[in-house]
Chains A and B, each alone.
Chain A
Amino acid sequence: MRQFCFFSGRFGAYGAPRELNDRGVVVVLCSPGKQESVRVHWCWNLLMDQLCQAGFHVFKFDYWGTGDSQGTSPETTIGQAMEDLELAVQEALDMSGVNDVILLGLRLGANIAAKFADLAIGSGAGSVQVKGLCLWDPLETGSDYLKDLLALHHRMPQEAFLSLPLQKLRLEGHLLGHAVSQKELDEIRELILTDEELTKLKSKLKTSILKHSDIPSDYVSWKENLALEDLIRPSEAVKRLAQMVAAL
């Protein structure tokens, strides 16, 4: 049975490996940005099940100011998310009782995971042993990501609220339904993960990348307003991610 916990005000869930095939590694799942993290909730559960079956310990968590964690939406920043991830890794190690960690991140979560792993290696690994990195649709640049989100945000009244012809949906003070601070926007804008940087990262750490566009049968749209509140259920991607993690 899955175990749930609160650690330093953050909410987390832990899944143990099936009996007899414990690989001695915990996979920490790094969620994408705010609304996308709600969409991925079900998919994360499917992935947890697959990975537990494959012998991994798995831990997922909500960043500060998201999901069931304490804090409010404007308090979330990239710096805060890095701290959250550090605490989550520690909690995952404590709950699982193992020493090795694999980070698996989606979209913005992939960039946070890559940044965290890079820092952990750069500082001589410190107390955290990051064994591998699995990046699912990482963002090449934070500025392009924000441009896409803003475009979606401004198209929202026309595309998703067609039955509100008399009213104008209020768009100020939030981005796609979640309050954001200027600090968070500035930090996201600075994120860059080019092919060159990925190559460097791969030379230091076992890293796998899954681009969702490579799986046309498993359609997931991050750029449609009508899909904004749909949960994603990419079965083929979940299968491939589990295989990629096992190969790290």
Chain B
Amino acid sequence: MNERIVRYGREGQNLAILTLPPEGPKKKGVLLANVGLTHHIGPFRQFVDLARALALEGVVSVRFDLSGFGDSPTGTTSVEEDFKSVMDKVKTITGVEEFIVIGNCLGADHAHLAALSDSRITGGVFIDGYLVKTIVGRIRYYQKRLFSLEFWKDVLGRRVFGTRIEVKPSGQKFYVRDLWTQERMQNELKQLANRGFDFCFVYTGQIQKWFNHPSDIKRYFPNVDFKNRLWIKIFKNAGHTFFGVRDRAFFIESIRSWVLERT
């Protein structure tokens, strides 16, 4: 696989890895930034696998650490500036001028901010990104729990028989994801939709309290016309970071297909 180290940002201090296809490249490239504190390889190395799968199909991708994360030193540049700088570098090296951004959790928030600030980003995959709080969604969630054998086994094991381990937090949490308001998300999604943006919302089973049915998107964002450019995929058996190898392979294949249809 043809991969190159690229330095970007002020004074070229930040690190990016460019994955180049054997032939091509296709019109649009893919941007993969670090996921919170996990560096640019992504949780369980999923961004490396995804970048290499895309390269085999002719798609250029770049995985990178934003300033202050992973192998990029703390700087004074913003998320938006870092994305712009990376895109400039990729354009210089490969000639690619349009991009699809992929982000998970806090990385999805970063992807959203980058997309809003730069029209070169024409599509995005937001993994556990836009969290929605609807009454119907909550009822659906608690209803499922109420009729779940696993839930009652857990409650009985933990509270009554003491056969299950009480889980204590590790005390190592040191970053918090700010949840955006419904109004803000709606306004900003509207701006992107009006640009003809391609949306891919991916949700995992682990955050089913926040999202458990595609209909909740329309319910929570009634004023956004996605113009048939929204694709929603729920991986109900997967953890937030796609811990299982089979779940992860299925996820990578789904995203690869979605990206290929839009490049």
Residues of A bordering B, CB below 8 Å: 1-2, 4-6, 11, 13, 35, 38, 41-42, 45, 66-68, 70, 73, 155-156, 158-174, 176-179, 219, 221, 224, 226-227, 229-233
Which of B38, B45, B167 has the most A CB atoms < 10 Å from its CB?
B45
Q: Does B222 contact A (CB under 8 A)?
A: no
The answer to whether A2 touches B71, judged by C-beta atoms less than 8 angstroms apart, is: yes
B window 155-214: CB within 8 A of A:
164-165, 167-174, 205-209
The answer to whether B39 touches A6, judged by C-beta atoms less than 8 angstroms apart, is: no
Q: A4-B15, A167-B205, A171-B244 are in contact. Are A73 and B45 (CB under 8 A)?
A: yes
Q: Does B48 contact A (CB under 8 A)?
A: yes
A178 to B11, CA, bound (A): 36
Q: When each residue 46-74 of chain B gets 1 if its CB lies under 8 Å from chain A and 0 otherwise, what string results? A: 00100000000000000000000011010
The answer to whether B239 touches A169, judged by C-beta atoms less than 8 angstroms apart, is: yes
Contact of B170 among A2, A13, A224 (CB under 8 A): A224
Q: Does B231 contact A (CB under 8 A)?
A: no
The answer to whether B144 touches A166, judged by C-beta atoms less than 8 angstroms apart, is: yes
Interface of A is mostly: loop
A177 neighbours in B (Cβ, 8 Å): 44, 241, 243-245
**Count the A-B residue pairs with Cβ separation under 8 angstroms: how many?**
124
Interface of B is mostly: loop
Output the least CB separation between A81 and chain B (Å): 16
Closest to A232 in B: B172
Residues of B bordering A, CB below 8 Å: 1, 3, 5, 11-13, 15, 17, 37-41, 43-45, 48, 70-71, 73, 144-145, 148, 150-151, 154, 164-165, 167-174, 205-209, 236-237, 239, 241, 243-247
The answer to whether B71 touches A13, judged by C-beta atoms less than 8 angstroms apart, is: yes
The answer to whether B48 touches A68, judged by C-beta atoms less than 8 angstroms apart, is: yes
Q: A158-B164, A170-B245, A230-B170 are in contact. List 19 more A-B contacts (CB 8 A).
A: A2-B71, A67-B41, A68-B3, A159-B165, A159-B167, A160-B243, A161-B239, A162-B154, A164-B206, A165-B148, A165-B151, A166-B145, A166-B148, A167-B236, A168-B237, A171-B244, A173-B246, A177-B245, A230-B172
